[in-house]
């Protein structure tokens, strides 16, 4: 219940309502972009400050390795399931969307853990960054393979270009760069940046989630006349992916907070990084398909119901 009374979540619900009734309320795109960059910078700083205190341990290495493994496993599983009902291009695009991660879902989850009093490692921000790209690269590989099979010609998108776009994306670089700044500046840097990275964080998140609610309402229409598996997958895939992450975290013995965040990352779907690449790499796919699924269904599900559910299940298991 506490999750529903959180001001940031209430602003998201309000934004979704405003969008559904076709209100002219909108957040100017430059402001929305600034809010996104601010949240990533603040998250990176928090992670860097925490890593400065903890250092790199075996548990951190295991958590990061598991994050990369999940980022490879989930899109491969998704593609095999989706291509039974969708064409190869659509299946690859949706698999990439759900194999990558949502930074805002992750940030919202860190706030929820703070409210629940559950600790987590600063390295989890690095885990999120590592999970951005593998699914995109796999999707391009699968799409290239489909093109060769259908035409007999190697009409492929250059994988080197995709690597460059994936690993030099501005948002991802800002996250990692901020983490490095946090590690280097340490406790003194944390004191200096606290008014910026801590005191303002909750309000900025609420403002950004208002915009995300508006976008979610607008993108839901992208699923009109799509196969039923799209809606089924958008709801069930997060639950399955989170369960897989929970099982693997238990096997390697991660702490509760890190487990919840890996569950959230596994359950989330990208609506920024992946669509930006897929528009050029997979022009055969209508963006309304993967945007409607990720932003119209999965994002609201995770923000409103998923995060408290994952916390509850992880607590029961631990």
305 within a domain of the structure (yes/no): yes
Instruction: Name the E strands within the chain.
Output: none
Find the CATH number of the domain harbouring 81.
Answer: 1.20.1530.20
Other C-beta atoms closer than 10 Å to the C-beta of 144 total 20
Q: What pLDDT digit, counting tens, does each position of 201-254 carry?
A: 888 988 988 988 888 888 777 677 778 889 999 999 999 999 999 999 999 999
* The pLDDT of residue 137 is above 90: no
Average pLDDT over residues 161-190: 78
Other C-beta atoms closer than 10 Å to the C-beta of 208 total 25
* The pLDDT of residue 2 is above 80: no
Which structural domain range is residue 108 located in?
7-14+27-317
Query: Domain total for the chain?
Result: 1
21 within a domain of the structure (yes/no): no
> Model's pTM, two decimal places?
0.82
111 within a domain of the structure (yes/no): yes
22 within a domain of the structure (yes/no): no
Q: How far apart are CA 182 and CA 194, in angstroms?
A: 11
Q: What pLDDT digit, counting tens, does each position of 56-94 carry?
A: 788 899 999 999 999 999 999 999 999 998 888 899 889
57 within a domain of the structure (yes/no): yes
Check residue 142 and give its pLDDT: 76
Beta carbons within 8 Å of 193's beta carbon, 6+ residues apart:
45, 185
259 within a domain of the structure (yes/no): yes
260 within a domain of the structure (yes/no): yes
Check residue 198 and give its pLDDT: 82
CA triplet 154, 160, 161: central angle to 5 degrees? Answer: 95
19 within a domain of the structure (yes/no): no
């Amino acid at each position: 219940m506490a999750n529903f009374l959180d001001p940031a979540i209430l602003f998201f619900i309000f934004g979704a309502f405003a969008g559904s009734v076709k209100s002219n309320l909108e957040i100017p795109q430059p402001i929305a972009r600034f809010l996104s960059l601010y949240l990533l910078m603040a998250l990176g700083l928090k992670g860097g400050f925490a890593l400065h205190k903890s250092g790199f341990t075996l548990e951190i290495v295991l958590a990061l390795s598991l994050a990369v493994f999940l980022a490879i496993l989930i899109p491969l599983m998704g593609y095999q399931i989706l291509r039974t009902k969708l064409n190869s291009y659509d299946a690859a695009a949706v698999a990439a969307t759900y194999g990558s991660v949502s930074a805002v879902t992750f940030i919202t989850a860190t706030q929820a853990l703070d409210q629940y009093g559950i600790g987590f490692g600063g390295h989890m921000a690095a885990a999120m960054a590592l999970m951005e790209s593998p699914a995109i690269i796999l999707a391009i590989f699968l799409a290239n393979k489909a093109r060769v099979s259908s035409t007999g010609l190697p009409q492929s998108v250059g994988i080197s270009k995709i690597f460059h776009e994936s690993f030099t994306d501005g948002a991802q670089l800002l996250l990692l760069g901020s983490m490095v700044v946090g590690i280097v500046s340490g406790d003194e840097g944390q004191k200096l940046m606290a008014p910026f990275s801590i005191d303002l964080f909750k309000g900025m998140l609420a403002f950004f989630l208002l915009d995300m609610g508006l976008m979610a309402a607008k993108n839901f229409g992208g699923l009109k006349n799509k196969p039923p598996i799209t809606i089924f997958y958008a709801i069930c895939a997060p639950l399955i992916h989170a369960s897989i992450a929970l099982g693997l975290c238990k096997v390697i013995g991660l702490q509760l907070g890190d487990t919840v965040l890996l569950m959230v990352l596994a359950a989330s779907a990208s609506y920024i990084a992946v669509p930006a690449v897929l528009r050029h790499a997979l022009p055969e796919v209508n963006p309304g398909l993967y945007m409607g699924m990720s932003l119209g269904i999965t994002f609201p599900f995770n923000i409103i119901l998923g995060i408290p559910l994952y916390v509850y299940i992880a607590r029961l298991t631990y």
